[in-house]
Structure 1
Amino acid sequence: MVAEIGTEGKRPLLDWVLERNPQTPRTRAKQWIRAGRVSVRGMVLRRPHQLLADPGEGLELLGRQAAALECGGGWQIHSRLALVHLDGSLAVVNKGAGLLSLPLARRELSALSILADFLAGRLKAKEPAFGARTLPAAYRRLQPLPVHRLDQYTSGLMCMALNGVARHALIEQLQTRTMKRVYVAFVEGPPVASQGTWRHWLKLTDDELRQGVLPEAMGKNGVREAKEAITHYEVLEQYALADGKSWVTKLRLRLETGRKHQIRVQAAHSGLPLIGDQWYNPRYDPRTKPPIDFPRQALHAETLTLEHPEQPGRRLSWTAELPQDLKRLEANLVAGRL
C-alpha cells in the first residue's frame, strides 16, 4: 500500500503510527488515535488524517489509562481545588473561593496552573488514601487549556480542555448555549416572583473591570460592545432576619448567556444584590458596617452539564455541594442568628 503524501512532505498521523507499528491493523491504529493514546511532542492528537511532518521520536503511544480516571467525590489536589473528572480531553474541577480561574500574570496561582502542576507530577493529591495511587503516565504531558472561568471569589465547578480539538468543541457549546451551568446564590430581599428570567443589556466599563446595565433601547439599537445577558432564576428558600423587616433569599440560577459578572450585576439591578458582593452591593462599602458579615459574594457554581467534547451524544453532569462558608451562612439564616 502506498502511503498518502501531503504537501511539503507531510503525511496523515495514521500513516506515521502505522509506520512505527507495522503489525498493527489500520482500524486499531485509528482507535488508538481517537481514544487519545497518541501524542506528538507532548500534545495528544485525535484526528487520524491530520497532516504533519515526520514527528520522529516525538510520536508516543500512551498507556490505556488515558481513557478516564475515577475521581469519586473529588481528589483534593490543592487546598482550594478538587479534581472532579479527568480524561484525555476534559478536566472538571471544583474551585474554592479566592482562587483565580486563570492566571492574570505568568506566575500567579490559579486553577489552571494548579491542574497543570498536578498533571506534570509536581503536585500530589492531598487525600490520605491517595498515597497508593499514581497519576497514569499518559496524563503527564497533557496541558490544560481555558474554556470558561469563574470570578475569583465565586466557588464551584468549571471545566478545562486538555487538547485543542476538545477546547474548540467546549467553547462551541458555550456559544450555542448547550452547556448547562447552574448556580446557587444568597441575595438580599425577596424577588417579585418565585421564578422568572432576567434579560438585560450589559456593557463593560472602559477598564473592563465592571459591568453596567444599559437601557433596553440602547442595547437593542447596537450600542458598541453591548451584550445581552439572560439568567433564569427560581426561589429555593426565604429567610427572615432578626430585625423582623429584612429577608435573605436563596436562589438557583441558570445561565443562558455567560457574561462577566452576569449574575452579580443582574441580581443587583433587579433589587436583589448578593450578600458579600463588594462591587455590586452598595451596602458592602468598606467604609460602613455590612448588614451581614460575609467576606465574599455568596455565589456557588453548583451544577455543570455538557456533551463530552470528543464523544458526540454523551452528556455528562456534575454537582458540587455548597462549600463550608456558605453552609455556615445558611445554618445561621435557618437558626435566625442574623
Structure 2
Amino acid sequence: MTEGTGEDTSEDWTGDMAETQAAPSSRLTITTGADDAGQRLDRVLARHAPDLSRTRIQRLVADGQVQLGGRVVVDAAGRVNAGDVYSIALPEPEAAEPAAENIPLSIAYEDDDLIVIDKPAGMVVHPAPGHSSGTLVNALLHHCGDSLSGIGGVRRPGIVHRIDKDTSGLLVVAKHDKAHQGLAAQFADHGRTGPLERAYLAFVWGVPRPRGSVNAPIDRHPTHRQKMAVRQSGREAITHWQLLETYAGADGEPLASLVECQLETGRTHQIRVHMAHIGHPLLGDEVYGQGFRTKAARLPEEARTLLEGLKRQALHAARLGFAHPVSEQHLAFDSDLPEELEALHAVLSGAGEA
C-alpha cells in the first residue's frame, strides 16, 4: 500500500509576471503570473521552484503543506489563477534511516524469525514524509535491534504488508531475509494457492447481501491524488464479504451492518474503496463515506456519540493466518475488536437487529 505518484517533469519557467521568494523557516511563497492561469498546480509550482520536482510538490500537497489564502490545498491537479499566492511549508530533511524508539507494542506472537503485531489505530506502519517518528518501524527497531536492518529496504525493514494508519489489527513482520522472502511470496500469492488468510471486520452503512464479491480494479483517483478509486486503468482488486450482523436505527429501520471482508489482493484502501463502490461505505470513513454523514443522525444517541468520537474508519484486521516461512508450521491469529469498536458494537447490538 504505497503512497506517492507522478513523474519528475519539472520544467524551466520563463514567464514575465511570476514572483518567487523564499520565506524564513523553510517556507516558500509563490505568486502565479498570467502565463500560469488555467494550468495544473503541481506543474506551475514546480516551474516556479526549480529545486522541487512535481513528485515532491504532489507529496507536499498530499501532506497538507501547501496553502492558498490560508486554506490547505487538497488537489495537486487543480487549476491555478493569475495572482494566486501559494505558501509552501518545507519540512526539515528526514534521516535516511529510521531511528529506534521505545514505543510499547502489543505482540500476538514472536520467535527468532518473525513477529506478529496487533497494531492500534493511529499508528503509521513505516516512516513517510510527515511521519518520520512514532511508527511501527521505529518501535520494531527498538524491540528487535539490528536484526531488522535492511530487511525489506532501509525505510521499511521487515515489513511484508501494511494496514492503514487508522485501521487496527494484525500484521506480521520478518526478522531476517529468509523469513522476509518466504512471507513475501505468500502475500504475493494472496492465498489463491497457499495458506495465507486475511479477514477484516468492517462496520458499514446499509445492509448488503448475505455474501458477495467485488472484482473491480483500483487506481489513484484522477483528481484527488490522496484518494483511490475504482478505475479500469487500475490493478486487479478482489474483495469477498460476508454479512454477520445488521443493526436498526433509532426509527427501527435497517441502518448499518457488520461484515467480514477477505482479501484476494492487497491494494491501497481496498476494503474502503470496494465497500463504498457497492454503496456500503465504512462507518467513520471521512474519505470514502462523506455522502453518508446524514445517516449518523438516524443512529441511537449513544451510538451516534461513539461514532463521532471514533475519528477513524470502523475497520479491524481481525484474522491473520500463514505458513511459518522457516518451520512451515501453519500459524493463525485472531484479534478481538479494540475497545472503541467493541463499545460501538455493543451499542449497535443493544439497539436491536434489523
Structure 2, unaligned runs of 5 or more: 1-101, 150-156, 298-303
TM-score of the superposed pair, with normalisation by structure 2: 0.60
Structure 2 counterpart SS, 1:146: coil
Q: 1:94 aligns with which of 118, 134, 145?
A: 118
Q: Structure 1 vs Structure 2: percent identity of aligned residues?
A: 35
1:195-252 superposed Cα distances (whole Å, 9 cap, x missing partner): 11111111113675221112xxxx3xxx3xx111111111111110113334110001
Q: How many residues align?
A: 229
> 2:282 is aligned with what amino acid?
L
Structure 1, unaligned runs of 5 or more: 1-76, 121-139
Counterpart in the other structure of 1:42 = none
Q: 2:187 aligns with which of 160, 171, 174?
A: 174
How far has the Cα of 1:330 moved from its partner?
A: 0.7
Counterpart in the other structure of 2:66 = none
Question: Structure 1 101/142 Cα, relative in aligned 2: closer, same or farther at 3 Å?
Answer: closer
How far has the Cα of 1:189 moved from its partner?
A: 0.2
How far has the Cα of 1:104 moved from its partner?
A: 1.1
Q: 1:111 aligns with which of 136, 140, 146?
A: 136
1:168-196 superposed Cα distances (whole Å, 9 cap, x missing partner): 211111111222110000000001x2011
Aligned positions of 1:244-323 closer than 5 A: 244-283=252-291, 290-291=296-297, 292=304, 293=308, 294-312=310-328, 314-323=329-338
Residue 186 in 1 paired to residue 203 in 2?
yes
Q: Distance in 1 between matches of 2:103 and 2:338?
A: 15
Question: Structure 1 230/210 Cα, relative in aligned 2: closer, same or farther at 3 Å?
Answer: same
TM-score of the superposed pair, with normalisation by structure 1: 0.63
1:252-300 superposed Cα distances (whole Å, 9 cap, x missing partner): 1111111000000000011111000010002466xx8954423210000
- Higher CA-based Rg: 1
> 2:311 is aligned with what amino acid?
P
Aligned positions of 1:126-165 closer than 5 A: 141-143=147-149, 144-165=157-178
1:83-125 superposed Cα distances (whole Å, 9 cap, x missing partner): 11111221110000011011114732111211211223xxxxx
Question: Structure 1 269/180 Cα, relative in aligned 2: closer, same or farther at 3 Å?
Answer: same
Counterpart in the other structure of 2:52 = none
Whether the 8 Å CA contact 1:278–1:284 is kept in 2: the answer is no
Q: Distance in 2 between matches of 1:110 and 1:289?
A: 34
**What RMSD, in angstroms, separates the aligned Cα atoms of the two structures?**
2.3
When structure 1 is superposed on structure 2, of 321-330 and 108-117 the one drifting more is 108-117
Structure 2 counterpart SS, 1:228: coil
1:109-150 superposed Cα distances (whole Å, 9 cap, x missing partner): 111211211223xxxxxxxxxxxxxxxxxxx64445111100
> 2:266 is aligned with what amino acid?
G
Aligned positions of 1:7-86 closer than 5 A: 78=103, 81-86=105-110
Whether the 8 Å CA contact 2:121–2:165 is kept in 1: the answer is yes
